[in-house]
Structures are given as structure tokens and as C-alpha cells.
Structure 1
Amino acid sequence: MGFINRTVELDRLQRLWDSGTAQLAVVYGKRRVGKTELIRQFLLKNSGIYYLADKRTHHEQLLEFGRVVGDFFDDLIVRQNGFIDWLQAFQYLEQRSHDRQFIVAIDEYPYLVESARETSSLFQKGWDQYLKQSRVCLILCGSSIAMMESEMSSRAPLYGRMTARFLVEPMDVYSSQDFFPKRQFADFLTYYAITGGMPAYLQAFSGFENVEEAATALCLDKNGLYANEVNMMLRQELRTPNTYFAILKAIAGGKTRISEIANDGGFTVTLVSKYLRTLEGLQFVEREVPVTEDKPHKSKKGIFVLRENFVRFWFQYIYAFSSDLAIGNFRQVQKKFRAESHFLESIAYEQISRRTMWDLSDRLFSFEKAGRYWDSDIEIDGVGYNAHERKIAFMEAKWSDKKMGPTILNKLRMKAARVAWMRDKREEYFVLFSKAGFESELVSIASEDPHVVLVQQVTVMGR
């Protein structure tokens, strides 16, 4: 399978290269999101060096880096002897850049920092003394979000030297489906409900005939490629992850308010609040408030949700059944998964529908904000609005084999009437997403009313 998407990131990297000047770019993001492949594709088009740091000593890192650099320049002395320190390495690279432009990509940069605490200070000095006026495009890449963001903070040595930063995010649903070119959307969603938009998971799952077979081989089997995935992700970022495990397990189980999470784990609200801030920074969870809140940071309606489908799946089906899976007993987990797979798909479809709303500006209007809405009595899957235009859209998504009829639209209208935002001064739109399609009466209503938009799966009707 060829390289999929990442055109925005590749175009940005290419513009750095095309400038012909010195560049210091930081590329970071979670494990499996495709950072290394992105850099590899960039290197395929342009000339450069790729070095993968690991847990070896500082001295060994310099020897191995020298071997890689020596191979690239066909320099036997550097290949055999390596470099004494990073300043010598940068001086050598600067001299080599007189004759040619090239990339130096250092992957898993946090391992370099771990091997010698002064590494970033030496990189700062090497950049200022040698590389800043060169034609070297230096890329520092890492999977530890905490470490990489620390290295980019205002107190870090490299602050002010970076010319670009790339936070590589999971792929959108359309790019994700490209990993399953022979599957219809409904079939693909059974996979996406587990993998989300993480390219490595998508690639691995796409090689199986069905999602249960893939999940069993890759995740439930104790020797599966991703059986220990979330455990490793957390331990990479956190020294004492046990409390974080308990908090994430509670959220995966449907506990979303701080008080609920605290009660579930037997923690204080103060402790949970502190740990949730860390998990937010590491992009494991995100805080949501009703989209119409005027001051979201101060809202008391905030809830916490998992950012990734796979983390939810891992806690619900792997972490929760670790004893069974350790002895190869898959039966209970598979039974639970079969019973709940539709629920996982429904959650994923609701997420996709909210994101798809942003693509409907030609049928609706340009959103300023979009997200979920709830209060003490009602929940609405999606709401998007533009305060300047005084327009608001309300969305309902149903992943059901039953066609959607006018009753759903009428219920959504009643819910909308309960939303106070610019009441009596606004123009309302209604967007309905359905797996199975729509009854003829509802199709007729939408054909006559431009304020009603119907989307079957992810295809807008009547375009």
C-alpha cells in the first residue's frame, strides 16, 4: 500500500526545503501517528540523512550518528570514528553544506536528551555557531509529547531557534478509509471504531478479513502487536502511571465528570483535577463543554472524554480482561465485543458526523464553533453556529439499520427550542445523519426546505 495523505505536512516541509536556507523544524506526535513515515517521504524527494536515536549511551550515539553521516557523505574517517561531541558534528555538517543542501532528520530526539542532559544546550550552541547560516534542514522528531513540548517551551535552549513545528495528528476519516479501498463505509466503520485515525493501526487492521479476527490477533493475543500498546504509551510519558490508568479506565467506562472519576477510583477531586490536566497535555483526554458556553474555561458543565478510539477499546476490552487474556481465554472478551460493537460504531459515527458538519458550509454557513450541546434535560449530538450571521445548526446522528423519519426531525426541533443561544433572533438549520437513509416523507421535507440537510452515512443528499 502506498503512502496515504499527509499532503499538508509534506507541502509545509517542502516549502522549508525550497527556501534554500537553514531550517530547524520540530516534528512530534503520539506513537503510531506516522511521523517517521512522513519524514521518510520527505527524504525520498530530497537529499538527506536519517538518524534514529535509541537508549544507547551518549558516546555510542555520537559514534552511530557519525557512521550514518559518514555513509551519506562517503567519508570513511567519520564513518569509523564518529564525532567527539555534537559541536564537532554540527561544524562538520556546516562545512559539508557549502557544496550541497541536505536534510538531517533525528528521530526519537528525547532519547538523545536522556543520554546527556546537556544535549539541547549543545544543539542550541551548534545551531547558533554553525548551522544557522548553513543550508542544512535540521529536523528533530519525537513521540514523547511531554518531552518535546518541554524542549519547545520558552525556558528551553532551543526556544527561538525553531523555524517550524509540526504536531502530527491522527488522520481524518476520509484519509483513514483509503486504507480500506475495497470496503464500503459501513464496513470500514467497524474498523475505524477501534483504530481511529492512527495510520499504523489502520495499516495493520486492513490486512484481516474481519474486525474481530484483527482485534484478536493484534490486541487480545498477549503476543499481539498492540496488546501492550497503551501501557507502553503511558509509561513512556509518565514515571508512575498507576493513578492515570485508573482515571483513564473510569473515563472509558463512561465516567466523564470529575466527581464521577474521583468516586470511581477512590481519589479526591483535587487529585483527579491535577492528573487530568497532565492527561490533557499528553493528548489522552480532552475537556468538553456545551458548545454555546460563553466562558468555556470557567464552565462547571465540563466533562472529560478520551481523544482516541483505540485507547477506549484498549481499556474496555484488554485492560479490563487482562487476567483472561494472559492465559489465552478470548471467549468472554469476544462475546462482549460482539454485543457492544454497534455501540462503538455509534460513538465513532457521532464523532465523524460532528467533524463532517464543518464540511457543509456550502449548504449551511461558515461555523465559528461546533461541538456537542447538553444541559440538565437534553443532549444534542452536534451544534454549530456563527454569531455574526446569527445562524445556528443542530445535528442528530443515528447509526441504525432503520431509515430515519420525520419524527427524528421534529424531536430535534423541540430540543433546539430549548437552546437559549440568540433565541428569537437566529436562523436555524437542521442536519440529520443516518446509516440507513431516510423515509420518503423526510426526503420530501428536505427537498422543499433548504434549512434541512440530510446526510446518508457521509454523503450529502440532494447535491
Structure 2
Amino acid sequence: MDEATDRDSLNQFGAQLAEHQNAPAPFSFETWHSAIDALLALGRERRIPVVIDEFPYLVAANAQLPSIIQNAFAPLRAERDSSRTCLLLCGSAMSFMGRLLSGNASLRGRAGLELVVPTLDHQLAAEFWGVDDPATALKVNAIVGGTPAYRREFARDDTPAGPDDFDSWVVRTVLSPASPLFREARYLLADEPELHDIGLYHSVLAAIAAGNANRGGIASYLGRKSGDLAHPLTVLEDCGLIAREPDVFKDNRTSFRIAEPLVTFYHAVTRPIWSDLEHTRDATRLWQRSRQRFVGNVLGPHFEHLCRLWTRHMAPPELLGDYPNRVGSGTVNDASNKTSYELDMVAFGLDDDNRRPLLAIGESKWGDIMGLAHLDRLRRIRVLLTAQGRYGAETAKLVCYSASGFTDDLVIAAANEPGIVLVGAGELYRRQ
């Protein structure tokens, strides 16, 4: 359904139903009560699915619609009992759809299925986009994620022909004002009915995209108090635009990550040069000037996230020696040297006594060739965790993730020591 007034929506509904039944003229419904009963009538002789897409638009025009559907599908109601109509309510506004069946919502208890359709993971996305080179696939995924529509409807089936075509692909699709992808990140926020102060939410997302992952950093970026951010962060999380990721070693420390890659790219790359992009005939130079921000603020964090995702759900069972029950990031204090270490990957298992042994710790580097210095850093952190009494720390594996490769010394060390694991970009795309 389109966004319209309640009366106009009813008219559209009557016209589409009449077209489905090959009626000579559109049906006219005075209320949604009669309209929903007409849907139930479709299923009197056979089971029939009826899909109402963009359901939040209808409810925005008539807030009583969920209650009307609840009453129409009430048990022991004659129209419902004699009908085999299966009503599918769909919508892309995550916060709204998530509330339809929660708590005391009208439709709670009426639904037989609640299905959240996820985006494609990075492996499926690479197949869908037809990108065979792992590094190129990672870069494409860091921009468009796993949303299928971005290839067909938004990029018009334009995909990078190879590694050398990636920059040109960005210029002609994502950074071109004539491309639907150019403004899509803005529309994603506009589609969410809960986001009333769009400027504030864009600023919060911009702060996160700039590398301010914790609440204090976001507050400082915006010039606000940390307590003022509780509501906008919660709303963005409910909408599925950001993800809250707790520190695995410190329960009171939380970082935030933008869950939609295109939004990250917009705030880190497109937004700072927006007016220039709208007035240039060729965005090549603007893209070259923005590549450092792309690598540091988009590609690096996205690579770290995919490394954790792959370790948790896609890595071969023998990689860590046990099933990783929890994978996240964490901070480890080094009191003797008055410093702290950030770990990109921390994996915990789950033993028969319900304890969580530390299986592995790891570091991710997109643009650096990893060497013995990175390994020594992980060894130091493992010593600190062992001294802190972390269960399983003394045998935890050390994992190096790199999209740029490893030095010969590190490769030799990994070959001679089973507790060292090297993961390249190719491994992230190898199906088990």
C-alpha cells in the first residue's frame, strides 16, 4: 500500500481487490471492518494468502486498524471460522513491526507466525552480487551490506567487474546523484515513524561513523550530556539502525555500531562532500579524497565485525577447538604499564558445568600486513588474562585476521605453534 489518507487507502484497497476478482468496477468500502471481512470472504472455498505490504502506512492513517484486524480474526467469529484466508502484514519499519505482537498489543495472540527477514550474510551477498574476489567483495559489502534490493532496483545490476573496477563502481553508483543509492541512507531514517527529530538521529549516527563508539564519545561529539542520549540511542536500536555491543570483560561498558553499512558510508563519506557531489560532473577526485575516511571509518570497523561474525557462525569447528558460544570485543587493562589493550575478537565456549572458557583472542587488520609484533601483542594480552584468573586463558588461541596478508615470519610461527591461527580474506568466504 502507498502512503495516503485513510479514505484514499480504502479506495486503493477496493480497487486492488476488484482487480484481483476481475470485477467490472472498484469496490467501495466505508470502513476497514467491511474491507477486512471482504478479505476473509476470499478464503471461504480455498486457502489463500493475502499480503498487505507497508502496513505501517495504513496504521499511520488509521491507528485503529490493528484492533479491527484483531476483532475480525477473533475466535468463534463466523467470518473467521468459515475462512481460510491467511493475512500477511509486512513492513520495513522495524520499531513499528516489532511492537505489533508485543506486550498488550492488539494483535498479540492472533498471529501464527512472526518472521524477521534478515539481510544476506557476507558470503551470500558476494554470490548475489557476483563478486568473486574476496577483497572486492568485502569492500562492496562494507557499503551496501546484504540488502538484495540494492543490486537490482538501486544499482540497476551494476556490479564491479573486478578489483580494478571498484573505484569506478563507487563513483557511478553510490556517489552519483542520479543513482537511487545516493539518497537511500537519508530515506532509511525518514521511513521510521519513531524518528521525530531526524537531525538529532543523523547527528548520533554521524558521531558513531566518526569512530565514537561509546556513549561518552558520542556525547562529546554532539556537545551534549551523556544522559541526554539514552532515548535517541534506544530508539535507533529499536529501529535496527544501530547495535549495542557490550565489552565482554566489562559489563558496564558498551559500544555502539551502525547496523546498516550504507548509513555508515553515508555519514563517513557522502555527507561531508554532499554539496560537492550534487554540483560535480565527475566525482572521481572527491572519491579519491575520501578514500582514507572510507578505509578508516567504514572498511576497518566493518572488517572487524565480519571477523567476529565469521568466527561465531561460519568458522570450521576445528578452528578454536570448541564451539564458540559467545564472540565479541573487549578491553584488557595492563596495570603494570598503566595502559589498556583493545581486542577485536574474544571467543568464549560453554562447558558442561555452564562455565565459559576463553577459547581465543584476536586482532583484525584491513590494510596492514600482520607480523610478529601483532602476535607479541596478543601474547602479552593472554598473559594478562591468565594473571587475572580468566578461565581457559592460558590455552586460548591467538587469531590474526588480515585482508592484506601476513609476513613470512608470522606464517612460520603459525606453522610451528598450533595455538596460532591466521585468517585471510579468502577464509572469510570459504564455505564449510
Which of the five TM-score ranges fits, normalised by the shorter chain?
Answer: 0.7 to 0.9
Verify: 1:171 aligned to 2:120, yes or no. Answer: yes
Deviation at 1:107, TM superposition (A): 0.1
**Aligned with 2:348: secondary structure?**
strand
Which of 121, 125, 129 does residue 180 from structure 1 map onto? 129
Over 3 Å counting, the alpha-carbon distance change for 1:199 and 1:254 in structure 2 is same
8 Å CA contact 1:292–1:421 kept in 2: the answer is: no
**Residue 282 (structure 1) aligns with:** 239
**Aligned with 2:114: secondary structure?**
strand
**Aligned with 1:142: secondary structure?**
coil
8 Å CA contact 1:86–1:122 kept in 2: the answer is: yes
Over 3 Å counting, the alpha-carbon distance change for 1:441 and 1:339 in structure 2 is closer
8 Å CA contact 1:428–1:451 kept in 2: the answer is: yes
**Residue 315 (structure 1) aligns with:** 267
8 Å CA contact 2:122–2:138 kept in 1: the answer is: no
* Residues in 2 aligned to 1:82 and 1:255: alpha-carbon distance in whole angstroms: 54
Deviation at 1:407, TM superposition (A): 4.0
Amino acid at match of 2:223: G
Over 3 Å counting, the alpha-carbon distance change for 1:314 and 1:444 in structure 2 is same
**Number of residue equivalences:** 402
**Residue 451 (structure 1) aligns with:** 419
| CA offsets 1:198-257 (integer angstroms, 9 cap, x no match) | 222344455144333333333433343122222222222222211112221111111222
Deviation at 1:189, TM superposition (A): 1.9
**Aligned with 1:288: secondary structure?**
strand
Q: Percent identity?
A: 25
Verify: 1:159 aligned to 2:122, yes or no. Answer: no
Which of 375, 399, 414 does residue 366 from structure 2 map onto? 399
Structure with greater contact order relative to length (CA < 8 Å, sep ≥ 6): 1
Amino acid at match of 2:399: V
Amino acid at match of 1:59: R
* Residues in 2 aligned to 1:202 and 1:406: alpha-carbon distance in whole angstroms: 40
Normalising by structure 2, we get a TM-score of 0.84
Verify: 1:408 aligned to 2:364, yes or no. Answer: no
* Residues in 2 aligned to 1:257 and 1:347: alpha-carbon distance in whole angstroms: 14
Verify: 1:60 aligned to 2:8, yes or no. Answer: yes
* Residues in 1 aligned to 2:361 and 2:32: alpha-carbon distance in whole angstroms: 56
Deviation at 1:308, TM superposition (A): 2.2
Which of 417, 427, 439 does residue 395 from structure 2 map onto? 427
**Aligned with 2:257: secondary structure?**
strand
Amino acid at match of 2:95: A
Over 3 Å counting, the alpha-carbon distance change for 1:396 and 1:259 in structure 2 is closer
Which of 309, 318, 339 does residue 355 from structure 1 map onto? 309
Amino acid at match of 2:44: H
Deviation at 1:157, TM superposition (A): 1.2
**Residue 277 (structure 2) aligns with:** 325
Over 3 Å counting, the alpha-carbon distance change for 1:334 and 1:303 in structure 2 is same
**Residue 287 (structure 2) aligns with:** 334
**Residue 19 (structure 2) aligns with:** 71
Amino acid at match of 2:348: Y
- Give the superposed CA RMSD: 2.7
**Residue 19 (structure 1) aligns with:** none
Deviation at 1:131, TM superposition (A): 3.4
* Residues in 1 aligned to 2:262 and 2:92: alpha-carbon distance in whole angstroms: 17
* Residues in 2 aligned to 1:452 and 1:157: alpha-carbon distance in whole angstroms: 54
| CA offsets 1:69-94 (integer angstroms, 9 cap, x no match) | 333333x16x5224333332333333
* Residues in 1 aligned to 2:58 and 2:392: alpha-carbon distance in whole angstroms: 60
Deviation at 1:391, TM superposition (A): 4.1
- Is there any run of 5+ residues in structure 1 with no aligned partner, and where? 1-52
Deviation at 1:164, TM superposition (A): 1.3
